[in-house]
């Protein structure tokens, strides 16, 4: 189903990074794009630049999302909003767990609940869930993040089963490291953080992820691009660590 068969899109986490790039890409295709994010000032700038319709709200505001979904029939839903509090689960706090579940998972579930039934009824729609390579691969210090992204991955597969028989497509996008400001949001904006995560690396840009999403959306109606894993060429996942029993005694905080 090409872009011409869709009219409206909802993009969360739209004020910067991948979300803003998706808004810009969709607007170039002529879609009416509703951009949701907490940052009113950044959203206003995006709206002025692209002509999108800004909604300054938190994705945890289920009542606000319900009002929006009740007013507009969305043909495309892009669940992009996400947060992280990187730390070992041994050091996790209740607030860390609640925040990640509320933003990364609960909001996605509610938006799908609010919007996908209408897509099914109209026999037309596309859900794009931005998960992460963290939904399939393990690396240290992001335990709750891994859990929420794995849940989004399974939800993406389940949605296709729930909507089976109707022309509702579901695409899971699994980015690796991308050159966005997410690292500054998570770790703090400093030259050290840029050097650790961005500077000197060959990384995909937010626009590259938006182009991949546009590829999936613009595919013929008979084609569902279900899963796309997008990483830097010079990034690989996986690895194996083996510890001796005494390692834990000597260094109880060490990653094993």
For residue 255, is it within any domain?
Answer: no
For residue 204, is it within any domain?
Answer: yes
Sign of CA dihedral 4, 210, 132, 63: negative
Q: Which residues contact 250 (CB under 8 A, 6 or more apart)?
A: none
For residue 45, is it within any domain?
Answer: yes
Give the residue-averaged pLDDT of 179-184: 73
Intra-chain end-to-end CA distance of the chain, in Å: 47
Q: Rounded to whole angstroms, how far apart are CA atoms 156 and 136?
A: 13
Total domains in the fold of the chain? 1
Confidence of residue 93 (pLDDT cuts 50, 70, 90): confident
- The residues annotated with a catalytic role in the active site are 145
Q: What is the pLDDT of residues 103-162, one digit of tens each?
A: 999 999 999 999 999 999 999 999 999 999 999 998 877 889 999 999 999 999 999 999
In the chain, % of residues over pLDDT 70? 92
Q: Rounded to whole angstroms, how far apart are CA atoms 120 and 115?
A: 9
Instruction: Reply yes or no on whether the pLDDT at 234 is more than 60.
Output: yes
> Mean pLDDT in the chain?
91
Q: How confident is the model at residue 1, as a pLDDT?
A: 52
Contact 237, 183 (CB under 8 A): no
For residue 256, is it within any domain?
Answer: no
Q: Rounded to whole angstroms, how far apart are CA atoms 79 and 164?
A: 20
In Å, the largest CA–CA distance within the chain is: 63
H or E stretch covering 171: strand 168-175
Domain of 239: which CATH number?
3.40.50.720
Task: Tell me the residue range of the domain where 85 lies.
Answer: 3-250
Counting DSSP H helices and E strands in the chain, the numbers are: 10, 7
Of residues 37 and 94, more confidence is placed in: 37
Instruction: Reply yes or no on whether the pLDDT at 7 is more than 80.
Output: yes
Give the residue-averaged pLDDT of 78-100: 90
Contact 89, 143 (CB under 8 A): yes
Q: Rounded to whole angstroms, how far apart are CA atoms 65 and 20?
A: 19
Return the structure tokens found at 185.
């949001």
Q: How confident is the model at residue 191, as a pLDDT?
A: 78
From the list 218, 12, 220, 4, the residue with the least C-alpha distance to 115 is 12
Note the pTM of the prediction, 2 decimals.
0.91
Instruction: Reply yes or no on whether the pLDDT at 54 is more than 50.
Output: yes
For residue 208, is it within any domain?
Answer: yes
């Amino acid at each position: 189903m090409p872009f011409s068969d869709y009219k409206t899109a909802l993009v969360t986490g739209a004020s910067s990074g991948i979300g803003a790039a998706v808004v810009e890409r969709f607007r170039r295709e002529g879609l009416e794009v509703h951009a949701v994010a907490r940052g009113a000032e950044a959203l206003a700038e995006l709206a002025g630049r692209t002509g999108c319709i800004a909604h300054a709200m938190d994705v945890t505001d289920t009542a606000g999302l319900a009002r929006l979904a009740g007013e507009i029939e969305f043909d495309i839903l892009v669940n992009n909003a996400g947060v992280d509090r990187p730390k070992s689960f041994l050091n996790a706090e209740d607030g860390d767990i609640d925040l990640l579940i509320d933003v990364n998972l609960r909001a996605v579930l509610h938006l799908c609940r609010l919007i996908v039934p209408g897509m099914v009824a109209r026999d037309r729609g596309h859900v794009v869930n931005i998960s992460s390579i963290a939904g399939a691969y393990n690396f240290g210090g992001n335990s709750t993040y891994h859990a929420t992204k794995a849940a989004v991955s399974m939800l993406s597969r389940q949605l296709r089963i729930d909507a089976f028989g109707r022309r509702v497509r579901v695409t899971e996008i699994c980015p690796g490291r991308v050159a966005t400001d997410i690292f500054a949001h998570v770790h703090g904006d400093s030259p050290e953080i840029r050097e650790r995560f961005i500077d000197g690396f060959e990384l995909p840009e937010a626009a590259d992820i938006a182009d991949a999403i546009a590829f999936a959306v613009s595919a013929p109606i008979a084609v569902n691009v279900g899963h796309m894993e997008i990483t830097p060429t010079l990034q690989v996942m996986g690895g194996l660590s083996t510890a001796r029993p005494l390692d834990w005694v000597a260094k109880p905080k060490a990653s094993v």
